[in-house]
A and B are shown apart, each in its own frame.
Chain A
């Protein structure tokens, strides 16, 4: 009884996660096709229009009279671009480092893993803050900072999975047949590790969205007048007391995105665990 329900729950989380992420992706793609208003166009005469009160601005307008819906839509590009690309970069570097250190266990491997340990020791977004200082604010800065943030988790994961898988017979067999390391890695390790990596990837995107929005909230991410959800919230702060609706849309957009990617990660994880047992 209990087992059945459990799998239903994990399928639900996967399903809800996929729906949420698809919704955000849809908004992002739609922003390239059609946006109701130019996102950075200021119109002082149309400041602080409450959501849907004039039937023209569905989510209202902000302190400069810019259409919030349009800014949310364009903002989704920034959020997804920064978070997905930085997770891809971080994952690629992380996987490479993890694989190298698992392959050359001695000096190279252990020193790589030591540096990874060092990177991991920086708590929270401290590392990202430090890196942003160096590479500068803006989209590129955020991407670099978040990708470096992502390296340790991926390299640790790959490293431990490779050391686990390595002892398996078919890998040993492939080695004895004279396959090169690269061939073995692509043919055997990658398929064995793929499910876990996909899971990790999805959760990492959730985390990356959180960091990107935090950075842009702190004014260290994308710079005005461009739009990102964190920046929108930061701009809404001073008017928030009177015009609370300003914070609703960006906040919910962030929650949907993070929740979506996290749920996919969790759902996949449960699913894989169940399939293995």
Chain B
């Protein structure tokens, strides 16, 4: 299968030389839902943002390769990147209120990317927007278009975001904690919608979440991130049935706490995700790991077992 995203050896530093993301490589195939899991601060959002050229300007990054939609964007000019990403990638943000401009009506912001990249008229854009809005479950899409974002509820805004991400018939959608702050019925609706989009339109989706239960049901493959590294990855079924990394095991054990808030740390696992010293040798999880050994502060082994199941741990 073709790869739609391919990152090789991505390292991100902040301006104080703290390593935020350390040597992450991942690839995503066309047509799959890929789950990227981790606590807040694990670097999953930064990793995803590197794909769409959205890293904050005060961060430095080093990478061997970032392929988005099969094209290496590292050496592209700004305009080429804008064109490629704007045309082919949809971004569904966390559900905070300001992702839609509060002072611009929905109809004036939902279609502007479509008009710009696809050379369409405003009328065509509005027709398409209306169609997509009804697809994401609005019964009165033409009314929604006339509203300002603040006249909509959180769930409605998130569905507008989804419709907006679909405007250009993208090949890839990146959904960053798309269901945070939505109540659980709407959460399910939104995720079901993703599944439909994926199955009907063949759009690849990167689903970023701290919520393992959610990812488990919907993604083909997952990667678990901890403190800026991928500690385990593979097909969802393999990872869930046979978790190799102690962190993944712990995460799976605590799945029932379904409605955990975004910034809540995993209280069942003692300690915090470390913020500094992520580049040091040894295993990043050893401070919180129930199975930590002496060797873990010296080095950590990368393992690849059958079915491309990867994990980074000294245990076997």
Contacts and interface: CB of A to CB of B under 8 A. Distances in A.
Q: Taking the complex as a whole, does A directly touch B, i.e. does some CB pair lie under 8 Å apart?
A: yes
A182 interface: no
A81 to B, nearest CB: 47
Interface string B46-59: 00000000000110
Contacts of A4: 15
A2 B58 CA distance: 7
B162 to A, nearest CB: 33
A3 interface: yes
Contacts of A1: 15, 57-58
Contacts of B58: 1-3
B106 to A, nearest CB: 33
Interface in B192-233: none
A1 B13 CA distance: 12
B58 to A, nearest CB: 6
B226 to A, nearest CB: 28
What is the predominant secondary structure among interface residues of chain A facing chain B? helix
A1 B59 CA distance: 9
Interface in A1-48: 1-4
A2 B15 CA distance: 9
A4 B58 CA distance: 11
Contacts of A3: 15, 58
Interface string A236-270: 00000000000000000000000000000000000
A1 B58 CA distance: 6
Interface string B64-94: 0000000000000000000000000000000
Nearest to A4: B15
Contacts of B57: 1-2
A159 B232 CA distance: 58
Contacts of B15: 1, 3-4
Interface string B1-24: 000000000000001000000000
A1 B17 CA distance: 11
A12 B28 CA distance: 49
B154 to A, nearest CB: 30
A1 B56 CA distance: 12
Nearest to B60: A1
A1 B16 CA distance: 9
Interface in B214-257: none
B60 to A, nearest CB: 9
A4 B57 CA distance: 14
B98 to A, nearest CB: 21
Interface string A89-103: 000000000000000
A3 B57 CA distance: 11
A131 to B, nearest CB: 43
A1 B15 CA distance: 7
A12 B58 CA distance: 22
B237 to A, nearest CB: 45
A44 to B, nearest CB: 66
B17 to A, nearest CB: 12
Contacts of A2: 57-58
A4 B15 CA distance: 10
A6 to B, nearest CB: 11
A233 B34 CA distance: 75
A163 B4 CA distance: 57
Interface string A110-142: 000000000000000000000000000000000
Nearest to B59: A1
Nearest to A2: B58
Interface in B90-121: none
A2 B57 CA distance: 9
A58 B57 CA distance: 52
B61 to A, nearest CB: 14
Interface of A: 1-4
The 8 closest A-B pairs by CB, nearest first: A1-B15, A1-B58, A2-B58, A3-B15, A2-B57, A3-B58, A4-B15, A1-B57
Given A1-B57, A3-B15, A3-B58, 5 more contacts: A1-B15, A1-B58, A2-B57, A2-B58, A4-B15
8 contacts: A1-B15, A1-B57, A1-B58, A2-B57, A2-B58, A3-B15, A3-B58, A4-B15
